[in-house]
Structure 1
Amino acid sequence: MLNEERYEIGNRISIISIIVNILLALIKFGAGIFGKSSAMVADSLHSLSDVASTIAVMIGLKISKKPADKEHPYGHEKAEPVMAKILAIMLILTATGIGYGGVIRIIEGNEQIPENIALYGAILSIIIKEWMYRFTIKGAEKINSPALKADAWHHRSDAMSSVGSLAGIFVARMGYPVFDSITAIVIALFIIKVGVSIYIDSIKQLIDQSVDQKSYEDIERIILSTTGVIGIDDLKTRVHANKIFVDVEICVDKNLSLIDAHKIAENVHNKIEGSNKDIKHCMVHVNPYDETMSHHKGKRPL
């Protein structure tokens, strides 16, 4: 998928997300204020943080679509995990504020019994945010965007927090108002957990971690199945944001001409890059095969 097309899809999803989140945050905030529910107010602030996170996603997608240049010869894809990292921090900070507010209300004894409107707000939020999660995660998987996936989990965490709000408000209306604040604290802990998970995933994409074992073995198998390749001297992979780079040293018959050895390397290059749409580049180095050397691995039968 071309970067421009990828950006257009992600941008369209993000604009829809911003509009829905602003409307939903206003509805939930009103339901929380008029319904006397601290859990609902906390939930509305979570939805409002989604607006800022989605704007960050749009910025990340716009930067990542830029082609490679002199200063960034490997491209700009890492802008997305950088934004995902920022989103994770925003989630954690927002959740910390929500949890702190809940603790203070319990200590000060300021709990009130929520009104029915708070229940309706929670139900509406659950339905809309779960739909937004499914809508966003489908688009994120289509364009393989870590930032958009992080934003999708913003929606899912919001839906889950609304489930907690609904339960807390319901119990509070039965005569136990402290449960409204307890629910706000539980919601905060859940959001922090999601934020930490997103943060760790973004770090992995920024430090050039290797691909998973299955992907590594698939690449290895493709290389060894290429005619003329006797073995692999070295194979390295690195995840560069949503793309993969492959560096391989193959060994071929030492008596081959330079032209023939180059053709084998070119075949390996083309087969690897054609095997997975996420592989952005494969660098192939050719070594002469010497049966007396012990460092060759993954050798084919001669």
Structure 2
Amino acid sequence: MQKNISKEEYSRLVTLAGRAAIAAASLLILVKLFAWFATGSSSILAALTDSLMDVTTSIINLFAIKIALQPADDDHRFGHGKAESLAGLAQAAFISGSSVLLMLNGISSLINGNQITASNLGVGVMIFSVVVTIALVSFQTYIVKKTGSMAIKADSLHYRTDVFLNGAVLVALVLAGIGWYWADGLFAIIVSFYILYGAWEIGVQSINALMDKQLPKSDHELILKTAYKVEGVRGAHDLRTRQSGNTKFIQLHLELDDDQSLFEAHNKADILEVELKKHFPHADVLIHLDPLSVVEAENIKFNDTNKLDSSVKDDG
């Protein structure tokens, strides 16, 4: 769970994690490039391609993080968080193209045959790759626990799957070493489909963020439960949410008794904002206050996404 840390500390940690990912991916590119030249393995080429995408993704990710961390200005009043989503679309396009090229290489290797040399070197390089990737994922996991950064969390998930990818390449090399040369091309094709699927996921997530898709239903229920726990709140409606970079935007209307002062009503909104930020640190919360009599007169009907059902009320 994310801890409450200053924006300066948040910026330092996520930047450090981004640089660590670039350094690790760059190191793996060098050793895999050497191993590919030495062995001619298509599966090592697949792993090399993945590392090239890793370093490109991490560079774009770090650049996007730097932009997203910039405060709102006169031209960007909601901040710069969507820079991460724009970077995600660029990553998806680059990864898709690389996966197609890799697939063609694997098909060629499978059809024409590809006898691997110096397989022990390839095995050693892939073991080294697994160890380095596990070390990076462990560090990123620590940073995510400290900051809750979605960008680093996504990057960490990508490198976490790389552990299994490198393991698969290791298996292909072992099989090719005992004479099953077809395994090398086959695993390259399998890895290319895996990479293409990852590109699809990145693209969909980026588009959802750019299109202001609302937060998950569980988050909506938590927001409404938190609102009903504030003393004096009679109802809540018109809940709207979205996410831009690391910032969640939360907007809702609170229904309050008519006979309280503006100061009292404003204080209840402040209490709710503080409580919401305990669950959603760095959230941008906007609360509109409605007199209960006005709500009843207008006969507002909640839709399914904004309505607090009886089970949620009971839990609260």
TM-score, normalized by the shorter chain, greater than 0.5: yes
Letter in 2 for 1:124: F
Query: 1:49-76 CA deviation, whole Å, 9 max, x = no partner?
Result: 2222211111111111111111111111
Letter in 2 for 1:294: N
- Note if contact 2:246-2:282 (Cα within 8 Å) is conserved in structure 1: no
Match of 1:74 among 72, 78, 88: 78
- Which 10-residue stretch deviates more, 55-64 or 193-202? 193-202
Letter in 1 for 2:159: H
Match of 2:251 among 247, 252, 261: 247
Letter in 2 for 1:9: L
Instruction: Show the 5 A alignment for 1:1-302.
Output: 1-107=5-111, 109-115=112-118, 116-273=120-277, 275-290=278-293, 291=296, 294-295=299-300
Letter in 2 for 1:295: I
CA–CA separation in structure 2 for the residues paired with 1:114 and 1:166: 14
CA–CA separation in structure 1 for the residues paired with 2:23 and 2:256: 58
Q: What is aligned with 2:305?
A: none
CA–CA separation in structure 1 for the residues paired with 2:154 and 2:269: 38
Where structure 2 has 5 or more consecutive residues not aligned to the other structure, the ranges are: 303-307
- Note if contact 1:84-1:146 (Cα within 8 Å) is conserved in structure 2: no
- For the residue of structure 2 that corresponds to 1:230, the secondary structure is strand
Letter in 1 for 2:260: L
Query: 1:205-230 CA deviation, whole Å, 9 max, x = no partner?
Result: 22222222222222112212222222
Instruction: Give the superposition deviation at 1:83.
Output: 2.1
Instruction: Give the superposition deviation at 1:279.
Output: 4.9
- For the residue of structure 2 that corresponds to 1:222, the secondary structure is helix
- For the residue of structure 1 that corresponds to 2:288, the secondary structure is strand
CA RMSD, 1 decimal: 2.4
- Note if contact 1:42-1:184 (Cα within 8 Å) is conserved in structure 2: yes
- Note if contact 1:231-1:296 (Cα within 8 Å) is conserved in structure 2: no
TM-score normalised according to structure 2 size: 0.84
Letter in 1 for 2:22: I
- Note if contact 2:265-2:289 (Cα within 8 Å) is conserved in structure 1: yes
- For the residue of structure 1 that corresponds to 2:28, the secondary structure is helix
- Which 10-residue stretch deviates more, 25-34 or 64-73? 25-34
- Note if contact 2:81-2:245 (Cα within 8 Å) is conserved in structure 1: yes
